[in-house]
Amino acid sequence: MSQSGQRRMGGQPMFILNEDSERTRGDDAQSSNISAGKAVSESVRTTLGPRGMDKMLVSDDGDVVITNDGATILNEMDIEHPAAQMLVEVAETQEEEVGDGTTTASILAGELLSQAESLLEDDVHPTTIVEGYHEASQIAHEAIEDNVIATDPDDEQLLQVAESSMTGKGTGELGAEDLAQTVVDAVQQVSNEDGVDRDNITIQTQVGASTSATELIEGVIVDEERLSEEMPRSVEDASIALVEEDLEVKESNIDAEYQVSNVDQLNAAIEAETDQLRKYAETLAATDADVVFIDGDVDDRVTANLVDAGLLVFDDVDSDDINAIGAATGASRVGSVNSLEDDDLGSAEEVSVEKFGDDELVFIKGGTATETVTIFARGSTKHVVDEIERTLNDALDVVTASLDAGGVVGGAGAIEIIIADRVRDEAASIRGRKQLAVEAFADAVEVLPRTLAENTGMDPIDALVDLRAAHDGGDASGLISEGQTGVIADPIEYGVLDPAAVKREAVESATEASTMIVRIDDVIASN
């Protein structure tokens, strides 16, 4: 094949691709893919660890996101290169599977590509690299399993995991410590012998107070409005109904002109409507319900009747909110007021409407059905609460992963030093050029402690030498960030712990993505 997409058959050129089709091949394709992947990974490097910096992402229309979260950064970046896109997927997978470690996974994938580039330059065949990386990743998994310090972490360890995931994030003026406690409390509320029901924890954010006002609510918070200001602001020992119906005139008797030919008929028609409308409130009042959430619209005349009946009613309620309230209070949704029975009602200790600036939120506390909890996250500005929400989500995920997915390991680069050492050790017994790939994997893993050192302002080479020396001397050591600098010490003693699942997933997804990119030798524009 001499030209892009062209094959010769019996002397006649045969085009299998559109002549204009863009195509890069061989070394060009490989090096362009590798560079793109490395560039993406490079873009999140400075955010790693407690001393990592934040990124400000500005969209075309001026929306600004300030974050330290790898997945968010890569998601918001406008990345077009297909190989670069694969690195974005690494972060996304990491986020979906374990909820944290997205920066770690992206940096590792980038460094695996970097190492692969050197191997390719030394004429190591791509499939040899792929095999070597896979073998090394297997060894890395074993190293992680052998170094889990607690498969069933205690409260203290859970707090430390939560805190390690939050340090360096935008937690406002509230120290990570208090937020960590809130996170661990939340997870413990929703865990039972079957594990942690992460779906039962939600985060509700509200601008306008300092981060230290963040609290854990036993129940749900929904952003809905009272049907009328004349309705009560709070109801204790509430019986709750969920109605999916418009409380309006179902079929108007007045619209059609020809039906109404005199005043008597008009009055009769209005009368019939009013009756129909009055029944809604009467029927509701006859049940035990005192708080009603309606997904549809409510006619003004019905509103007046509902106020008279002393009910607290919300209209136009979001279906997600209806579901959440149902889950928390045990209320079942009914299709009409008429079919509402006492069995359908849910209950809560208190339903209250609280005002925050111009916004009103509904707190439904002490619902009887499940242990649903909500973290009510506060912050002074939208940017602050958004970042707090991301940080809390990461922390909730790491605590959940530590409980449900195989314990915790020493953080601050310690587990990476252990992995690198083990992989290098075992590389010695691997024959041929594959050995080079396995060794390269070990070097790549060390990019993580190296980057932590860089971000802490330490000399990365000295730090790595010291870390290896400490490890060889039999001490578990990481690069603990302390004040303005870092110290080489045992992360377990300092309480810097990461879930084993985060490390497992990072090794896995980084290996997958980098080997996939290395294997590609032809990039063809397709439609």
305 binds, among ligand ADP, Mg ion, none (CB under 5 to 8 A by kind): none
Indicate if 400 belongs to the active site.
no
Q: Does residue 387 interact with Mg ion by CB under 5 A?
A: no
Selection from ligand ADP, Mg ion, none that 48 binds (CB < 5 to 8 A by kind) is: ligand ADP
Of these residues, 67, 69, 72, 211, which one is catalytic? 69
- Interface with ligand ADP includes 407 (CB under 6 A)? no
Residue closest to ligand ADP (Cβ): 411
When the beta carbons of 452 and 476 are compared against ligand ADP, the nearer one is 452
Of residues 132, 319, 299, the one with CA closest to residue 222:
319
> Residues 47, 72, 102, 400: which is the catalytic one?
102
Rounded Cα distance between 417 and 446, Å, is: 6
Question: How is residue 53 annotated by DSSP?
Answer: P
Number of amino acids touching Mg ion (CB under 5 A): 2
Backbone angles phi, psi at 79, to 5 degrees: -100, 125
Which residue lies nearer to ligand ADP by CB, 97 or 224? 97
- Of residues 33, 40, 52, 214, which one binds ligand ADP by CB under 6 A? 52
Beta-bridge partners for 291: 240, 312
171 near ligand ADP, judged by CB under 6 A? no
Residues 74-113 as x/- pattern, contact with ligand ADP by CB under 6 A: --------------------------xxxxx---------
**Choice among 72, 103, 214, 374 that is catalytic:** 103
Quick check: is 103 catalytic? yes
d(CA 100, CA 127): 31
Q: Do the beta carbons of residue 187 and residue 392 sit within 8 Å? A: no
Residue 518 CA to residue 131 CA, distance in Å, equals 11
Is the torsion defined by CA of 222, 227, 233, 238 positive or negative? negative
Quick one: which H or E segment has residue 146?
helix 126-146
The closest alpha carbon to 83, from 115, 120, 116, 37, belongs to 37
411 interface partner picked from Mg ion, ligand ADP, none, CB below 5 to 8 A per type: ligand ADP
Single out the residue of 97, 498, 508, 512 in contact with ligand ADP (rule: CB under 6 A): 498
Spatial separation of the C-alpha atoms in residues 346 and 210, rounded to whole Å: 34
CB proximity list for 97: less than 8 A, separation 6 or greater: 501, 505, 509
Q: Contact, 120 vs 132, CB < 8 A?
A: no
> Quick check: 41 binds ligand ADP (CB under 6 A)?
no
Query: Which residue out of 394, 451, 456, 498 is catalytically annotated?
Result: 394
Mapped onto helix, strand or coil, the DSSP state of residue 351 is strand
100 near Mg ion, rule: CB under 5 A: yes
* Amino acid letter for position 307: V
Residue 411 is a binding residue for ligand ADP (CB under 6 A): yes
C-beta of 153 vs 411, nearer to ligand ADP: 411
Is 237 one of the catalytic residues? no
Do the beta carbons of residue 37 and residue 86 sit within 8 Å? yes
> Which residue ranges make up the site for Mg ion (CB under 5 A)?
100, 165
> Which residue ranges make up the site for ligand ADP (CB under 6 A)?
47-50, 52, 70, 100-104, 164-165, 167-168, 411-412, 452, 479-481, 496, 498
Q: Which residues are catalytic?
A: 69, 102-103, 394
